[in-house]
Amino acid sequence: MTTQSSIPTTNPTPAGGRPPMGGRGPMGGGPMGGGPMAMMRRGEKPRDFKGTLIKLVRYLGRYRLLILFIWLLAIASTVAMIVGPKILGNATTKLFSGVMAQIAGTGSVDFGYIGHIIVETLLLYLFSALLSYGQGWIMTNVAMNLTYRFRKDIDEKINRMPLKYFDGTSHGEVLSRITNDVDTVSQTLNQSLTQIITSVATVIGVLVMMFTISWQMTLVALAMLPFSFGIIGLIIGKSQVFFKRQQDYLGHINGHVEEMYGGHVVMKAFNGEAKSVEQFDQINTVLYDSAWKSQFLTGLLFPIMNFVGNLGYVAICILGGYLAVNGTITIGDIQAFIQYVRSFTQPISQIANISNILQQTLAAAERVFQFLAEPEEIPDTLTPVELSTVEGRVDFKDVHFGYNPDKIIINDFTFYAEPGQRIAIVGPTGAGKTTMVKLLMRFYDVNSGAILVDGHNIKDFKRDDLRCMFGMVLQDTWLYNGTIMENIRYGRSNATDEEVINASKAARVDHFVRTLPEGYNLVLNEESTNISQGQMQLMTIARAFLADPKMLILDEATSSVDTHTEVLIQKAMETLMKGRTSFIIAHRLSTIRDADWILVMKDGDIVEQGKHAKLLAKKGFYAELYNSQFEGKEI
């Protein structure tokens, strides 16, 4: 029994025929904390399926006129196609009557009438094809525009997110929102939305035409629908869980690969290949399990739907033959009705298949909307402070802070720095040194207390204005895929080449850059492996020179350079820090002997403070730290 219809329809996407959206670049994200298996959720149920669908419809709201126009084109195209079998049925009836008359010797076949019907049908199909092309063109435009909006909204959202979110979420997980998930939504809208519209219009139109031919046969065809919808509902309910899990683990597996590739040197150095493969296999096993189950259940739809449809097809053929013998309907009407029956069940099968794709799409859309709904940074004040001149006085007043509210790590921190002072912050690992800098830059907000700059609470500044007052040189260097000139200019985007070169000379960068094959035009690769770690550190220091801020934050700025280079940088820093309030975080205490004031931190508290000589004379915690670096003692 053939399943082809004389009414051309959009080819349904084969069950399992669309490749998973996970093979283009570093997408997805490995779970945070406890390794990649920490977030595995076997049997996880879908979250807010209905709510996500409503959000997606609202997101499409601005395109409602275009979508309405697409509906009209789809309906017009479908009507033109639906009328075709009815007209062809007239030709069949005319041909049958002519043949019978010719056999009886009472007439002949009217080929002119039949030819006129064939031409009319071809014109209808051509008109329908043009309308279908127009609807596809408009829908593609809508889908691509929606993709652009999604990515734009995610990008803007990233800039409004607090640092806390990125501290607890892998880069791959964030990337999966803007690539993998958005692509899934985009492709489904582009490929499936018009198919849904066409299929629904076809079902309604064909049903009307079937009733005009024979209500008895139409009722027989409709009797098959409860079975069809029951099967669809059962399979969708079973497969929805696996589609959601599949979408999640596409992100997890790509995140793991990205993480292992980014740290492949460390992984090999510590013989972590076997463990990495084991973790990959664990994630891949869950992905395989969910993927084959979702695709298998999807694949059941078509054979089951075809079986149910063929049962109705057989019943209709028997009833149609009986009605034709009794003269209730013509041969042409039977032919047209059989075509309509096949055209009636096919779009229902398409809708069933699309419904499974929509599950995967809504799973992706849910992840996007969840990201867009994440808490954002507290908005900047509407009446920000604007300083005409920045002096550089900084006050910490009774500051309490914890990354988690129930675990405070900075307790009752009070201190002030006069303009131009060099403040060194020292202490063992985990004492809270870098945390103080994050609070000062307002990457995090204090739980209680206040931080003041020139007598104004930092919350009264716009974040951009506040951060422009500081220049930062961090222990973790960050350079991007661009030329050396562009990377240094990141400190001040409007700087001239001459200013960049002058800053490079001050930071002792110019000399080694000129020894490179392309000098300042050398393009750094993604991992910046074509220069040394020490040279990377020098370039970040050059950025600080170029920014020329009123206040400086130096977090282990010389940690990755040799002793000779460190001496050169220290001299350059002396020049840079003159007249600027500077906060220097250092583990090598020999580098901060000349600081104006030293804060000694332990467990989030200042346990000692003063100048280097006095702190040594006290023979307290600072003296222990200092002496341990020369005597090999443990603190």
Q: Tens digit of pLDDT for each residue in 427-461?
A: 887 777 888 888 888 988 999 999 999 999 999 99
**What CATH number does the domain containing 408 carry?**
3.40.50.300
As to burial, measured by CB atoms within 10 angstroms (0-12 exposed, 13-18 middle, 19+ buried), residue 20 is middle
> Does the residue 515 lie in any domain?
no
Q: Where does the pLDDT of residue 240 fall: very low under 50, low under 70, confident under 90, or very high at 90 and above?
A: confident
- Give dist(CA 76, CA 127) in Å, integer: 9
Average pLDDT over residues 316-329: 79
SS3 456: strand
243 with 177, same domain? yes
> Does the residue 175 lie in any domain?
yes
Compute how many other C-beta atoms are within 10 angstroms of the C-beta atom of residue 124. 17
291 with 436, same domain? no
284 with 338, same domain? yes
> Does the residue 257 lie in any domain?
yes
337 with 397, same domain? no
Q: Look up the domain containing 362 and give its range.
A: 61-372
> Does the residue 569 lie in any domain?
no
Q: Where does the pLDDT of residue 345 fall: very low under 50, low under 70, confident under 90, or very high at 90 and above?
A: low
> Does the residue 221 lie in any domain?
yes
Q: Where does the pLDDT of residue 40 fall: very low under 50, low under 70, confident under 90, or very high at 90 and above?
A: very low
314 with 434, same domain? no
CA angle 218/223/224 to nearest 5° reads 105
| Least confident among 280-284, 473-477, 496-500 | 473-477
- Cα 420 to the center of its chain, rounded Å: 44
| Least confident among 166-170, 207-211, 318-322, 539-543 | 166-170
361 with 410, same domain? no
Tokens 């669309």: give the residue: 18
Over the stretch 286-298, which tens digit does the pLDDT of each residue have?
A: 888 888 888 888 7
- Cα 541 to the center of its chain, rounded Å: 33
SS3 188: helix
209 with 351, same domain? yes
Number of domains in the chain: 2
**What CATH number does the domain containing 247 carry?**
1.20.1560.10
411 with 318, same domain? no
> Does the residue 177 lie in any domain?
yes
Task: Considering only residues 143 and 631, tell me which one the structure prediction assigns the higher pLDDT.
Answer: 143
Residue 424 has pLDDT above 80, yes or no: yes
| Least confident among 150-154, 348-352, 424-428, 618-622 | 348-352
Over the stretch 370-392, which tens digit does the pLDDT of each residue have?
A: 888 888 888 888 889 988 888 88
Task: Considering only residues 42 and 607, tell me which one the structure prediction assigns the higher pLDDT.
Answer: 607
410 with 274, same domain? no
- Give dist(CA 472, CA 547) in Å, integer: 9
> Does the residue 426 lie in any domain?
yes
Average pLDDT over residues 78-91: 77
265 with 361, same domain? yes
Tokens 């990959």: give the residue: 280
Percent helix, percent strand, percent coil in the chain, to nearest 5: 60, 10, 30
278 with 414, same domain? no
SS3 481: coil
115 with 256, same domain? yes
> Does the residue 193 lie in any domain?
yes
Average pLDDT over the chain reads: 78
CA diameter of the chain: 131
